[in-house]
Structure 1
Amino acid sequence: MADHQRIHPMVDTEAPPPASPPPTAPLVPPGSSTSEKGGPVMVQHPPPPLQHTMPVITSTNSKRGCFCKCICWTLSILILLLIILGATVGILYLVFKPKIPNYSINSLRISDLRLNFDLTLSAKFDVKVTAYNPNKKIGIYYEKGGRLSVWYTNTQLCDGSLPEFYQGHRNRTVFNVSLSGQVQSGSTLMAALQQQQQTGQVPLELKVHAPVAIKLGRLKLKKVRILGECMLTVDSLSANNLISIKASNCKFRLKL
């Protein structure tokens, strides 16, 4: 059979082209490289740095700072108050010009000075005192509790109460004070007094303790104390006789 019949497949031109196979995923992951032999080489990236959280430590510096600020503020306020107080006192001093009152002993009379059977010494004195207020704008209230006492060689012979009264501006007031007392070991003291009396100069000391209140205009301030000492020299200690005061030296001071 020389001539064979050949059968050729017919191509359908209208048929759609065959679908291409789906792409295969690469065996080498992204970021990796291949070796010279073609095998994949895995590239190891360094691990991310660890973030260490620092522990919160409360510092004492802030507390010390607050404490120092409080101390500074307190000291500043105290200094300011002292400055205001000092300025107020200075202004009052310049306006009122305060002066301490003057006192003098006018007379001294001994109504009783004797040695008792129990060897105690009884003494009764009558003292006339003049108080002068030299201030132009300051009044003085003599409060309750004022005392006047007579001493001989550090031994108190007698004492008495000062009167309560108000003394105005530039006022002069005369008042009497009755003193009485009793001293133990009177025989020794009486002998010393009699021996001193023979010289015609008997040293006595009068002590004043007067609580007073100062009046500035219409304002009455708190109580202060007037303390005074008068060194007297008398000629005798005869009872029921007016004693002659030969010398007198008085000193007074104000105590808050």
Structure 2
Amino acid sequence: MADHQRLRIHPTEGEAPPPPTTPLVPPGASRSEKGVPLHHPPLLRSVPAVYSKPGKRSCCCKCMCWIISLFVLLLIVLAAIVGILYLVFEPKLPDYSVDTLRISDLRLNFDMSLYAKFDVKITANNPNKKIGIYYEKGGKLSVWYTNTRLCEGSLPQFYQGHQNKTVLNVSLSGQVQSGSTLMKALQQQQQTGRIPLDLKVHAPIAIKLGRLKLMKIRVLGECLLVVDSLSSNNLISIKASNCKFRMKL
């Protein structure tokens, strides 16, 4: 009986002692210091959001490539057509020259406004061999002095054939308010014998290629003139003329 109790209290060699039920740590230690494992929640991997399926994105890219390719092809075709038309028809700008300028009336009214009436003869030249020109409604011809419009008139409507020169007689009239200062400046300028005038052309035209009438465009022109006098009912001598023209859609 004594041997049996001795075996229970003091185990024999080779027998492992039972594990301690409570870890031997100081009472104020943390859980990690006590040996108790810290259980962290499992990390959740973020799954990237899928905005479009690979097949749909590939289809959109193909559509965009087709659209861009068609647009580039269209530009190439248009450029080729324009180049062929240019080589075949050899388009040139119409030009104008001022032949004569006569002042029918230039007076100062009682209300101090300046009334002017000019008669201008100009020559319109179409230098193209294969292109006709339609002069449409709304063409204007005006005479200016130092950024002040003295008078204005309408260009006639007509068709001008290939390599044709047409003489136009245009009557211009206008009235300027507060014309006393302007009249005084004109009289002083007349004493020098060189009066600068600016003649402006605004002509809406349509081009005819063979039997095809193209869209309407505008011819804008400007002729810088130097005349010797502004006397009424006298043929004025044009001492210098410098004309420039351009085309605008």
How many angstroms apart in 1 are the aligned matches of 2:58 and 2:181? Answer: 71
Matches within 5 A, 1:120-199: 120-199=113-192
Distance change >3 Å, CA 195–CA 64, structure 1 → 2? farther
How many angstroms apart in 2 are the aligned matches of 1:64 and 1:192? Answer: 74
1:60 aligns with 2:52: yes
CA deviation after TM superposition for structure 1 residue 249, in Å = 0.4
CA deviation after TM superposition for structure 1 residue 159, in Å = 0.4
CA deviation after TM superposition for structure 1 residue 59, in Å = 4.3
How many angstroms apart in 2 are the aligned matches of 1:70 and 1:226? Answer: 42
Equivalent of residue 69 in structure 2, options 67, 72, 76: 76
Q: Which runs of 5 or more structure 2 residues have no equivalent in the other structure? A: 1-46
Matches within 5 A, 1:25-64: 59-60=51-52, 62=54, 63-64=56-57
CA deviation after TM superposition for structure 1 residue 74, in Å = 1.8
Q: Which residue of 1 aligns with 2:247?
A: 254
How many angstroms apart in 2 are the aligned matches of 1:118 and 1:72? Answer: 70
What's the secondary structure of 1:239's corresponding residue? coil
How many angstroms apart in 1 are the aligned matches of 2:124 and 2:190? Answer: 29
CA deviation after TM superposition for structure 1 residue 110, in Å = 0.4
Q: Which amino acid aligns with 1:241?
A: N
Q: Matched residues, percent identical? A: 76
**Greater per-residue helix proportion:** 2
1:226 aligns with 2:226: no
TM-score of the two chains, using structure 1 as the length reference: 0.76
Q: Which residue of 2 aligns with 1:96?
A: 89
How many angstroms apart in 2 are the aligned matches of 1:152 and 1:65? Answer: 66
Alignment size in residue pairs: 201
Equivalent of residue 106 in structure 1, options 99, 103, 118: 99
Q: Which runs of 5 or more structure 1 residues have no equivalent in the other structure? A: 1-54
CA deviation after TM superposition for structure 1 residue 109, in Å = 0.4
RMSD: 1.5
How many angstroms apart in 2 are the aligned matches of 1:242 and 1:159? Answer: 19
How many angstroms apart in 2 are the aligned matches of 1:117 and 1:64? Answer: 80
Equivalent of residue 213 in structure 1, options 194, 206, 210: 206
Q: Which residue of 2 aligns with 1:24?
A: none
What's the secondary structure of 2:229's corresponding residue? coil
TM-score of the two chains, using structure 2 as the length reference: 0.78
Q: After superposition, what is the alpha-carbon deviation per residue over 1:118-165, rounded to whole angstroms, capped at 9, x for unaligned?
A: 111101000001011111100000000000000000110110000111
Equivalent of residue 86 in structure 1, options 79, 83, 87: 79
Q: After superposition, what is the alpha-carbon deviation per residue over 1:161-180, rounded to whole angstroms, capped at 9, x for unaligned?
A: 00111100111110100000
Q: Which amino acid aligns with 2:52?
A: T
CA deviation after TM superposition for structure 1 residue 61, in Å = 5.1
Q: After superposition, what is the alpha-carbon deviation per residue over 1:52-93, rounded to whole angstroms, capped at 9, x for unaligned?
A: xxx9x8542534433333322222111111111100000000
How many angstroms apart in 2 are the aligned matches of 1:142 and 1:192? Answer: 36
